[in-house]
Every structure is written in C-alpha cells, then in structure tokens.
Copies of this chain bind each other. A is one copy, B any other.
Amino acid sequence: MKFAPVLNFLGTLLIFLGLFMLLPLVWVWYYQEDLWPRYVLAAAVTVLSGLLLRKAGKGDNVVQVREGFAIVTLGWTAMAIFGALPFLFTGAIPSVSNAVFESMSGFTTTGASILTDIEALPKSVLFWRSFTHWVGGMGIIIFSLAILPILGIGGMQLYKAEAPGPTKDKLTPRVRQTAALLWGVYVLFSALETGLLMLAGMDLFDALCHTFGTMATGGFSTRNASIAAYDNPWIHWIIIIFMVLAGINFALHYRALTGRVLVYPRDPEFRFYLAMMVAGTVLLSASSWRHFGSLEQGLRDSIFQVVSITTTTGYITADYEQWHPLAVIVLVLLMFMGGMAGSTGGGMKMMRILILIKQAHIEVKKFIHPQALYPLRMGRRVIPPEVITNILGFFLLYVVIYVLGSMFLVALGLDLATSFSASVACLANIGPGLAEVGPVANYGALPLPAKWSLAFLMMVGRLEVFTVLVLFSRSYWRK
C-alpha cells in the first residue's frame, strides 16, 4: 500500500469536515447560544490536522484499488474522531468515548445514541449531530455506487454499469462525476422533504434535522420521543415516504429523474424491497392489532416501524417492544435485510438477500438434476458464479461477525436480548434494538468496551464488511 495518496485524501476530507463545523454557527446566532468560539476551535483543529496530513502525503497521488480500502476505512474513522470534537468542545457530551460513539453513529447513519435527554442539548449541537448523518449518507451513496463496484465487494460489482458518469480506470475522475450527479438527487430529495415537513407544521430547524436523519436513513431526532413526539399523521406519512425513497438505489432515482420512471417496477430488487415491507406490515398488524388504538393509527404505526427498520433508519412512532413477540422478531429479521444496494440504507441489502434465496432454490434443484446448469437470473441479467460465491461468503462473515459481536457483549455481562439486538442494530446501522437499547432506551448506560465494539460494528457494517476486514489480512500489508 502507498501511504501518500491515503494521507493526501484524508487531509482533504478533514479540511472539508472542518469547514462543515462552521455551519452550526448559523444556529448559534439564531438561537443566541454562547458557543461560537467552541465551533471555531473544533473547525480550526480539524482543518489544521487536514493541512498537516496533506503535507505528509505529498507526492505520488494515483489512487489504486489497494489504497481504496484504506482510504474508505480510515476516512470514516477520521470523520468519527474529528466529528466528535464539536460534542466535546461544547461540553454537550463530555466523555471522549461517548462523543466518538455518537459521532460514529452519525457518520455511519446508524442513529444509535448515548444521550438520555436530547432536548436539553443546545440546538446548534443537535444540528451538528443530525448533519453528521447527512454527510455520512452522501459518503455512502458514493461508496456504494462508485467505489464498491471497483473494489469488487459482495456482488456490488454488478452495479458497475448502473451508476451514471463516465467509466474510466482511475478512481478519482469517475468518482467525482458520479458524485456530482447522485448528490444532485440527494440534495433535491432533501430540499423536497424539508419543504413538505415545514408545510406540515415543523419549523425549519426540526425539518432540516429530520430530513438529514431520513435521507441518510440515520435516525437521530431532535426529540427524546423521536417521531412519536409529533402527534401529526402528515409528518409521519411524509417521513415514511422519504424513508422509502432513501432506501432505494440512487442510481434508479437518477435514471427515473431523467425520464425513465419505469426503472422502478422493472428492477427486481425494488420489487423485492417493496414486497418485504408489505409482508412485514401484514405480519406486524396481524400479530399486534390488539395494541392498536384506531385502524388508521395502527396501520400507520406498523408501516412506519417496518419502513423505518427495513430502511435501517431507526425513527420510532410506537414502542414496538410492547407488541407481540412475533412482531419483534419480524422487525429484527428486517434489520438484517436492510435497504437496497446503492441506497443510504444499511443491513445486508435486499439485492444480496434476493440472490441468496434464488441460490438456495437452485441448490435444491441441483440434487435432482446434478448435471443440469441453473443460471441465477436477476431480471435479464445472469449472475456469474464467482459473484454468488462472494455473496454467500458475505452472508457467512456477516453472521459470524454478528454472533461474535453479540458474544462479546454477553461476556461483558449484558443480557441476551440487549446483546443480540444491539449487535444487529449497530452492524446493520439501524440504531434502536431491544431491552436496554430498545426504542425507548439508549446506549448511554453500556460499559465502555461495549460502546467501542459497537462503534466498530457500525463501521464494519456500513463499509460492507470486506472493506474493513481486508485491512486486517496479512496479504494486504505484504509487498
């Protein structure tokens, strides 16, 4: 691995991140908070570190695949660490571990929080907290649609042809072009949601923060009760619609916006994504109707929770732990599935689940005709065998990491429901889990090693497992 281009890239990233830290100043001024020197200090430290890194990384600047892994993993790590500075310097989150956890949760669009009383925090801090989601979501769109296909991870090379922009061998120009086009879609949807939320009665501040949480499928709210704090069905429905949109492959959005609206129903992953959410809603309402007030409210709550969990957002309008245990299990299963590939959603991705189901069926059929060839088709495309093996390997590693992560929490003394739900809630970038980290609780009371390991799981899950694991392999560091 060449260090120069990695350091150079991290430097540039930190300079941008530092400049972003000046954005909360708008709210410092608007809400007349006495915090501006703190943000300026955080920004200065970050920009300065960025300049130093760029200096250290002068020279050879050609990024190749091998450097790609380090750039992405270290990039998210750097964002999480420096992004914690505003929390620390403002005194909003005085503990380093907690601040980094919250920041990692933000940039990985997880939405798991260590905060007990969110509403007690200065508005500018809440803005920064939600803004980390939005930045993380931007990063993820580019990561999954422009970088992953080049790294060749877990079947994502299938999307090589799908993303807009020119296809060249060197990473940078292609990534820049793709970024510009997809961010356009992201910004457009964000503006739309903010406008609609304001029409429904939110003020600009809350509308922006919840838009950041929705479009990034993050889940940080400005209210202790999350979306349940808003007793307004319009707000719930608007957020449902934009969560669904955020869980869709952004390359599809781009093509739909250029006039080809039929790309949605023609996409097999999209149909599967919708089908899973419909099935989840049916199972939830059928098992838990006893807990519902009215039909509209019960259905809305079911749809909201299913969409929020499936897209890995983590917003909440009802305490689903009070529902029938089957509803809880269905939600946990949906956590693993996650959004579509190329969306801001986490989890294993619907595309992989669909390919796994098809492959399982083929494995059974092969016993009856061992000589026959059964190509695995997604729409008109045939998935090559090495991609299928890679996706099966992804599934295996995902399950193993999940179980090991849960076991580590159990070893620390946490109960089973907390351990096994916190692990998936962080690995799949959802946020709320069950029991001690349930929808009406938070991660604040967990022991320190639990917080650090969960923050690590967030990153492993967000970066599609392999990106991070590769760095721990001996062959990566060998010349």
Contact = CB atoms under 8 A, between A and B. Distances in A.
A415 interface: yes
A52 interface: no
The majority secondary structure among interface residues of chain A is: helix
Nearest to A361: B473
Contacts of A151: 367
From A359, A368, A403, residue with most partner B Cβ within 10 Å = A368
Interface in A275-300: 287
Interface in A398-436: 399-400, 403, 406-407, 410-411, 413, 415-417
Nearest to A465: B364
Nearest to A393: B363
A470 B365 CA distance: 7
Contacts of A153: 367
A466 B470 CA distance: 33
Nearest to A406: B329
A363 B411 contact: no
A360 B410 contact: no
A70 to B, nearest CB: 12
From A333, A365, A475, residue with most partner B Cβ within 10 Å = A475
Given A153-B367, A368-B473, A369-B475, A396 B407 contact: no
Interface stretch (A233-241, A384-392, A453-461): A384-392
Contacts of A411: 287, 326
A473 B364 contact: yes
A2 interface: no
Given A411-B287, A475-B368, A396 B325 contact: no
A287 to B, nearest CB: 7
A333 B416 contact: no
Copies assembled: 2
B325 A410 contact: yes
Contacts of A406: 329
A360 B399 contact: no
Contacts of A473: 364-365, 368
Contacts of A470: 364, 367-368
A266 to B, nearest CB: 26
Given A367-B69, A367-B152, A359 B403 contact: no
Contacts of A356: 396
A370 interface: yes
Contacts of A66: 368
Given A153-B367, A392-B393, A415 B325 contact: yes
Contacts of A29: none
Contact of A407 (B329, B360, B469): B329
A360 B475 contact: no
20 contacts: A69-B367, A329-B407, A329-B416, A330-B407, A359-B396, A360-B393, A360-B396, A360-B397, A363-B390, A363-B394, A363-B397, A364-B470, A365-B473, A368-B476, A385-B389, A389-B392, A392-B393, A392-B396, A395-B396, A416-B417
**Chain A to chain B: the 10 pairs with minimum beta-carbon distance, closest first:** A392-B392, A363-B393, A326-B411, A325-B410, A368-B475, A367-B470, A364-B473, A329-B410, A326-B410, A364-B469
Interface of A: 66, 69, 151-153, 287, 325-326, 329-330, 333, 356, 359-360, 363-370, 385, 388-390, 392-397, 399-400, 403, 406-407, 410-411, 413, 415-417, 466, 469-470, 473, 475-476
